Amino acid sequence: MTRRSPDSCPGVLRLHEAADGPLARIRVPGGRLEPAQLQALADAARDVGDGNLELTSRGNIQLRQVRDADELAARLDAVGLLPSRSHERVRNIVASPLSGRVGGWADVTGLASHLDERLQADPALAELPGRVLFTLDDGRGDVTTLRGDIGIHAVADDEFALVLAGVDTGVRVNASEAVDVMLAAAHGFLDLRGDDAAGQWRLHEIDGAVESIIETLEHSPVTEPLKFGATHQIPIGWLDQDNGLVSLGAGVPLGTLPARTAEFLAAIDRPIFLTPWRSIVITDLDEGPAETVVRVLAPMGMVFDANSPWLEVSACAGQPGCAKALSDVRGEADAAVESGRVQVGAPKSVAGEDIPADEVEVAGRQHWSGCERRCGRPPGPVTDVIATGPSTYRVDPPTT
Ligand code: SF4
């Protein structure tokens, strides 16, 4: 697949002109935010944005209606959220959010930081398309199934599968080799892509790319590839850490985190992890403070109940944020949850074309889109609710 237009992924230094104003995307490698960084994001959202932080399906943050891009860049730079001007858009690194704290074969948090540093130190890799995604899965199978471009997946304490285009290559490396092999694969992708900046943005878009890249690596396949099934493991609620402390997983309805709520999160003064499921994990809490956090944040709309219908629903920007949107999908998805038309459980829906928004009723995982592009649709079996006009929808049964 080739495209005529160049990769136009937004960043902090290159904003996207959305229908509701300039949009900035801030990369958060590994999803980890320190309290001061979250506070700076909350301040920026309130002072130069629309007052909200948008969580993305890659564990990044977006600010909408940015009024002063220079001021935003300066604020992010001051707290380490813009460490490289040349590489800012290529730092798309998702890691298992509970890694090193709750379960998993290996702790990949250090590898995520190391990969980010090495990526930034490699001038050629600034040319990677902004859509390329690195995944570091600690073995639980939560982020490999996002179908990233280049990744590792722990299969033992110190053994990782190299995963390309979401597929196990049969190559195995240890922790000390993992970053090197991912960077080598990234160079291989750039070489295959050539100088045509309007070419392929993702590894799976190049026929035979995985096989070609494997041939260039120092490592060869040594085993039959594993198959990674789609999973839906949003970490929600009380999570006992392996070291006796507590993590709290919290859903964020439709991924929109008000600046005021972000300030409360920053005040907890613990590392926060953004997940690719538009939720967060608050880490390293003692039990008493963890109980207080739930009591304070649940009334503010954060979701600590694993059976909440909010966890079944995602939505694209829709109107008024996207010019292509045929309807206000976020408002209408919100209304569907609030009126009990989104149910938890096995997929079930009223099928049909041009269903009025207030009659759409779907059980199970569902993604609401303002047009056929279905931006931000999660992988796996998901019912599509697609706008066909102002406040009318088509419901497509789940597909993978
Ligand atoms: S799915 Fe369509 S309407 Fe929604 S954000 Fe993407 S392009 Fe816009």
pLDDT in tens, 364-383: 999 999 999 999 898 888 99
Flag whether pLDDT at 1 surpasses 60: no
- What local confidence, expressed as pLDDT, does residue 359 receive? 94
Binding site membership of 44 for ligand 1 (Cβ less than 6 Å): no
Nearest Cα neighbor of 369 from 329, 310, 312 is 329
CA 204, distance to chain mean position in Å, is 19
CA count, 13 A, side-chain hemisphere, 308: 22
- What local confidence, expressed as pLDDT, does residue 398 receive? 85
Q: Of all residues in the chain, what percent carry a pLDDT higher than 70?
A: 96
φ/ψ of 230, rounded to 5, equals: -70, 135
Tokens 């980890």 map to which residue?
32
Tokens 């005040």 map to which residue?
267
Binding site membership of 324 for ligand 1 (Cβ less than 6 Å): yes
CA of 208 to the centre of ligand 1 (A): 30
Write out pLDDT tens, residues 316-330.
Answer: 999 999 999 999 999
What CATH architecture does domain 237-308 belong to?
A: Alpha-Beta Complex (3.90)
- What local confidence, expressed as pLDDT, does residue 195 receive? 63
- What local confidence, expressed as pLDDT, does residue 335 receive? 98
Return the ligand 1 atom nearest residue 325 CA: 3
Tokens found for residue 114: 């190391």
Binding site membership of 371 for ligand 1 (Cβ less than 6 Å): yes
Mean pLDDT of the chain: 93
Write out pLDDT tens, residues 153-209.
Answer: 999 999 999 999 999 999 999 999 999 999 999 999 999 987 655 567 888 888 899
CA distance 367 to 96: 22
Max CA distance (Å), the chain: 57
Nearest Cα neighbor of 318 from 260, 391, 394 is 391
Give, for ligand 1, the residue of 62, 375, 396 to mutate: max count of ligand atoms closer than 8 Å to Cβ: 375
Nearest Cα neighbor of 379 from 354, 399, 349, 394 is 399
Which positions ≥6 away from 281 have C-beta within 8 Å?
Answer: 97, 98, 235, 239, 247, 248, 249, 250, 272, 273, 275
CA distance 49 to 66: 5
Strand ranges across the sheet with 61-63: 16-18, 21-26, 61-63, 52-55, 256-258
Binding site membership of 136 for ligand 1 (Cβ less than 6 Å): no
Write out pLDDT tens, residues 5-46.
Answer: 557 789 999 999 999 999 999 999 999 999 999 999 999 999
Flag whether pLDDT at 4 surpasses 50: no
CA 263, distance to chain mean position in Å, is 21
DSSP code of 127? G
Give, for ligand 1, the residue of 369, 385, 393 to mutate: max count of ligand atoms closer than 8 Å to Cβ: 369
Strand partners, 279: 251
Flag whether pLDDT at 351 surpasses 60: yes
Closest CA to ligand 1's atom 2: 371
Query: What is the rounded average pLDDT of the residues 322-339?
Result: 97
| Residues found in the chain | 400
Binding site membership of 323 for ligand 1 (Cβ less than 6 Å): no
Q: Are 325 and 363 within 8 A, CB to CB?
A: no
Q: Are 315 and 393 within 8 A, CB to CB?
A: no
Binding site membership of 327 for ligand 1 (Cβ less than 6 Å): no
Binding site membership of 322 for ligand 1 (Cβ less than 6 Å): yes
Binding site membership of 370 for ligand 1 (Cβ less than 6 Å): yes
Flag whether pLDDT at 83 surpasses 90: yes
Distances (CA, A) of 80 to 36, 109, 333: 10, 17, 35
Tokens 């929600």 map to which residue?
236
CA distance 40 to 72: 10
Return the ligand 1 atom nearest residue 370 CA: 3
Tokens found for residue 174: 């240890």
Other CB atoms within 10 A of residue 378 CB: 18
Query: 400: pLDDT confidence band, cut at 50, 70 and 90?
Result: low
- In the chain, domain spans: 87-232, 237-308, 310-399
CA 100, distance to chain mean position in Å, is 19
CA distance 181 to 200: 21
Q: Of all residues in the chain, what percent carry a pLDDT higher than 90?
A: 87
Nearest Cα neighbor of 107 from 183, 158, 46, 37 is 158
Q: 87-232 in CATH: which number?
A: 3.30.413.10
Nearest Cα neighbor of 59 from 205, 204, 230, 234 is 234
